[in-house]
């Protein structure tokens, strides 16, 4: 089952356009859906395969005015699916905003579907694969141990006053002398992570918060 269908099922199969039977151009499922049509601004042509329709699940994944999503996240206006990260864990759908990074950390170890939207500008659900982490345009094998290790260290460094920009460039510009000493004391480790764990380091840096709770560490198995 595709990531679109897992999320759609977990959302309770909300009503979507279903005027025509055919093969979905995105997930390949034979379903009742809408005729395939996208705007002139559509750029994800690499995802399109032979077919006649957009199935109900992929229509939900691409929805730019979702009342279902709005109700789930407590908004009074329709929301764009692409603006949110989406997780399914234990059969439950969790749409999360950028402010929910702590929740994302707790869901990563047990997620059946993990779609992590950094920019909120790309349709990621139709790219995602169950059992992998879709971080923007990157499809990553789950490495909970790496994310735990890196977010823990990076979170402590953020708490000490080191900016995320400094942790990305590994420079000491515009930080205090104490923060600079801490960064320099970890510089070899951070460089090794950047080289050996590239996209995972970027994900950990995006997720890292200045404080981590004992509950988060316990959920990660620490």
User: Are 114 and 28 in the same domain?
Assistant: yes
Residue 56 sits in the same domain as residue 76: yes
Judged against a pLDDT cut of 70, whether residue 220 lies above it is answered with no
Same domain (yes/no): 120, 161: no
174-219 pLDDT, tens per residue?
888 888 999 999 999 999 999 999 999 999 999 999 864 454 445 4
User: Count of domains in the chain?
Assistant: 2
Residue owning tokens 């099922």: 9
pLDDT score of 165 more than 50 = yes
pLDDT confidence of residue 219: 43
Same domain, 136 and 169: no
Among 96, 124, 140, the domain-final residue is 140
**φ/ψ of residue 32, rounded to 5:** -90, 130
Q: Are 95 and 101 a contacting pair, CB within 8 Å?
A: no
Domain that holds residue 164: 144-219
Does the pLDDT value for residue 8 go beyond 90? yes
pLDDT at 42 over 50: yes
**Domain stop point among 140, 172, 205:** 140
111, 140, 169 — which closes off a domain? 140
- Specify the pairing of strand 92-96 against strand 85-89: antiparallel
* pLDDT 10s digits, 110-122: 999 999 999 888 9
Based on the number of CB atoms within 10 Å of its own CB, is 195 exposed (0-12), middle (13-18) or buried (19 or more)? exposed
Whether residue 202 is found in the same domain as residue 115: no
Q: How far apart are CA 172 and CA 86, in angstroms?
A: 35
CA distance 13 to 57: 8
Residues 189 and 209 in one domain: yes
Question: Rg of the chain over CA atoms, in angstroms?
Answer: 20
Q: What is the pLDDT of residue 44?
A: 74
User: Do 127 and 95 fall within a single domain?
Assistant: yes
pLDDT of residue 62: 94
Residues 89 and 171 in one domain: no
Asked if 8 contacts 33 with a C-beta cutoff of 8 angstroms, the reply is no
The pTM of the full predicted model, rounded to 2 decimals, is 0.87
Residues 189 and 82 occupy one common structural domain:
no
| 3-class state of residue 39 by DSSP | coil
Give me the residue label for tokens 């995602």.
Answer: 128
Residues 123 and 28 in one domain: yes
Residues 127 and 196 in one domain: no
Are 124 and 200 in the same domain? no
Sign, Cα dihedral of 194, 199, 202, 207: negative
Q: What is the pLDDT of residues 104-152, one digit of tens each?
A: 999 999 999 999 999 888 999 999 999 999 999 999 999 999 999 999 9
Q: What is the pLDDT of residue 164?
A: 92
């Amino acid at each position: 089952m595709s990531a679109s269908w897992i999320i759609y099922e977990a959302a309770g199969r909300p009503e979507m356009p279903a005027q025509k039977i055919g093969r979905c151009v995105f997930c390949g499922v034979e379903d009742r859906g809408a005729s395939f049509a996208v705007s002139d601004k559509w750029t994800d042509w690499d995802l399109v395969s032979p077919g006649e329709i957009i199935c109900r699940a992929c229509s939900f994944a691409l929805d730019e005015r979702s009342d279902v999503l709005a109700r789930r996240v407590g908004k009074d206006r329709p929301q764009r699916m692409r603006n949110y990260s989406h997780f399914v864990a234990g059969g439950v759908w969790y749409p999360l905003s950028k402010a929910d990074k702590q929740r994302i950390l707790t869901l990563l170890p047990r997620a059946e579907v993990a779609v992590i939207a950094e920019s909120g500008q790309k349709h990621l659900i139709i790219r995602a694969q169950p059992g992998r982490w879709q971080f923007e345009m990157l499809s990553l094998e789950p490495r909970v141990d790496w994310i735990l290790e890196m977010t823990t260290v990076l979170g402590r460094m953020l708490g000490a006053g080191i900016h995320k920009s400094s942790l990305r460039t590994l420079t000491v510009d515009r930080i205090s002398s104490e923060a600079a000493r801490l960064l320099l004391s970890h510089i070899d480790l951070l460089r090794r992570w950047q080289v050996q764990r590239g996209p995972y380091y970027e994900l950990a840096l995006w997720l890292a918060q200045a404080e981590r709770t004992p509950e988060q560490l316990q959920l990660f198995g620490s």
